[in-house]
Chains A and B, each alone.
Chain A
Amino acid sequence: MTGFTPNEMMTIAASRALKNDDVCFVGIGAPSAACNVARLTHAPDITLIYESGTIGTAPDVLPLSIGDGELCDTAVTTVSVPEMFRYWLQGGRISIGFLGAAQLDKFGNINTTVIGDYAHPKTRLPGGGGAPEIATSSREIYITMAQSKRGMVEKIDFYTSFGHGEGGDHRKRLGIDTAGPTLLVTDLAIWKPDPETKEFTVVSLHPGATREMVQETCGWAVKFSPALEETPAPSELELATLRDLKARTDAAHKRDAAAAKRGSKDG
């Protein structure tokens, strides 16, 4: 078996959760890589949507931003941003919203707004962007992030995007009829919410990961499923697809950078 990194395992495990008939609203970064690996392996007909309005996009390289030209070039259609959020997201057309997180709690609530107090923040983060409504209007939410004690915390500083709130039926009590976070994929494990409490529970450890490693990199007391499984290692096809995609992306960004430099020198 070829070696692989925890990050590669994370992306590939996340990609496996996506189905061929999913309509997926893709967050930038780790979600974007996972969604495109899914498209290039087992889910060739998956519809990938980025919030810049590109519907059914099939980029050859991973975009740096959610609005790269590559996304528009390869899309079935490109719509305006109001249409994106009104007809397609609010209209209930999205099966999976795929988000990353700066700060996450055990109920899948996400903070990407501030560290510290909102009015006087210690660190001002970019903010929610599309996430607050993606989190409640998509039928389900998948989250992917690398584990760290800074990132996975007992209490988030700001509820940018609502997950399961305080757990249990909190979504229902707020009148939110979508499922919310149903999957968390980290670099060490696959987590699913407990059916009752909605607390994220480890259901599968990635090859080489241990319970101790998961707990050491997580800020809350981790619960493990009694039927704990081991995540199947990446197949050669999955690994080759991800590495090719990353290599194409790096090469394209380097080429662009070189071209930009040449241009400004010539000018």
Chain B
Amino acid sequence: MAKFLPLAHAVAENLRDGDKVAFEGFTHLIPTAAAHEAIRQGFRNLTLIRMTPDLIYDQMVGMGMAKKLVFSYAGNPGVGLLRRVRDAVENGFPNALEIEEHSHAAMANAYEAGAAGLPCAVFRGYRGAELAKVNPNIKPITCPFTGEQLAAVPAVRPDVTFIHAQKANRRGDVLVEGIIGIQKEAVLAAKRAVVTVEEVVEDFDGLHPNLTILPRWTISAISIVPGGSHPSYAHGCYARDNAAYLEWDEIGADRDRFRAWMEENVMRAKPEDFAARVEGLRAGASLRSVA
């Protein structure tokens, strides 16, 4: 049952050294504040799972927290490469990083299989693709009815999943809107789930009946962190900080500059600092034609 906790407590209670952890968000609603809290608490030997690792995993890998990365697109979306992940894969800096690489279709199916309580996902994928040769967790499987050869990958079952969402109600149910990505599957596939939210409202009465809502009994802890997705965005709340993604390309490229940035913006910062970071982006949250 969801407990409302300060972010530091929610992270400390649910994340442990050596955990398989997913901080999910498909470009939208990335749980940056939760990742930064995990960085401040200095966890080690994590297996980081995420379709699109982007900035927060670049930061966690760069801080030496990860022993393994499970992913399907390790890029800075729309900008280029992840420099800290590259440094780890190419040079073993700050430590060697094991990688398990998939396609988006495989990861999406694997999360869904995890949520569905299945041991593996079966899909039509990886045909002619070389990843199937370098990743032993991709296996062929034959359809028992048609004989078609399909691909199988193990279900993703994180020890804990972190997501960010627009709102919770007072009971602790969570509402996700906009590009919903893999949020729901990542929560339901995990043993524990922590959600940061923009705000808490009284109830969800009168809303559309088919909204994406995670009932309170699927969630371990909720923390209220306005702006907690920055530089990603929260649909209806604030726009994506594209400039920050462009800037990260330079920050991440240099080991010393990276450490200095992390010291100033993460190690010496607090969850409450996120609200100010999105202040100027709130006007851009709704339809541009209105703005």
Which residues of A are interface residues toward B (Cβ below 8 A)? 28-29, 51-54, 60-61, 63-73, 78-82, 84-86, 89-90, 113, 118-133, 135-137, 158-162, 165, 170-171, 174-176, 252-253, 255-257, 259-264, 266-267
B241 in the interface, Cβ–Cβ < 8 Å?
yes
- B78 contacts across to A, CB distance below 8 A: 28-29, 63-66
A-B contact count (CB 8 A): 229
A132 and B125 contact, CB distance less than 8 A: yes
A73 and B288 contact, CB distance less than 8 A: yes
- B282 contacts across to A, CB distance below 8 A: 263
B127 and A136 contact, CB distance less than 8 A: yes
B149 and A159 contact, CB distance less than 8 A: no
A64 and B240 contact, CB distance less than 8 A: yes
Considering the complex, give the chain A residue whose CB is closest to the CB of B88.
A124
B128 and A174 contact, CB distance less than 8 A: yes
Which 8 A-B residue pairs are closest in the complex by CB-CB distance? A267-B276, A263-B280, A67-B27, A162-B128, A126-B75, A65-B77, A257-B243, A129-B73
B104 and A133 contact, CB distance less than 8 A: yes
Interface centre among A61, A69, A79 (most CB of B within 10 A): A69
Interface contacts beyond A133-B124, A259-B283: sample of 11 additional A-B pairs, CB < 8 Å, sorted by A: A52-B181, A64-B240, A79-B180, A86-B112, A90-B124, A113-B131, A121-B90, A127-B72, A127-B73, A159-B128, A165-B128
Of the listed stretches B5-13, B15-23, B79-87, B216-224, chain A binds: B79-87
Knowing A81-B51, A176-B127, A259-B280 are in contact, say whether A127-B28 is a contact too (CB < 8 A): no
Knowing A51-B104, A69-B28, A80-B184 are in contact, say whether A133-B277 is a contact too (CB < 8 A): no
- B185 contacts across to A, CB distance below 8 A: 80, 82
Residue from B26, B28, B134, B288 in contact with A252 in the complex, judged by beta carbons closer than 8 Å? B288
B123 in the interface, Cβ–Cβ < 8 Å?
yes
CA distance A123 to B1 in the complex (A): 45
B277 and A264 contact, CB distance less than 8 A: yes
Interface centre among B77, B89, B276 (most CB of A within 10 A): B77
B260 in the interface, Cβ–Cβ < 8 Å?
no
Knowing A68-B240, A259-B283, A264-B276 are in contact, say whether A52-B129 is a contact too (CB < 8 A): no
CA distance A119 to B112 in the complex (A): 29
- A257 contacts across to B, CB distance below 8 A: 242-243
Knowing A64-B78, A67-B26, A159-B128 are in contact, say whether A80-B181 is a contact too (CB < 8 A): yes
CA distance A237 to B212 in the complex (A): 42
B104 and A126 contact, CB distance less than 8 A: no
What are 8 contact pairs spanning A and B, CB under 8 A? A64-B77, A65-B240, A67-B28, A113-B131, A121-B90, A126-B80, A170-B128, A175-B149
B148 and A78 contact, CB distance less than 8 A: no
Residue from B73, B81, B245 in contact with A128 in the complex, judged by beta carbons closer than 8 Å? B73
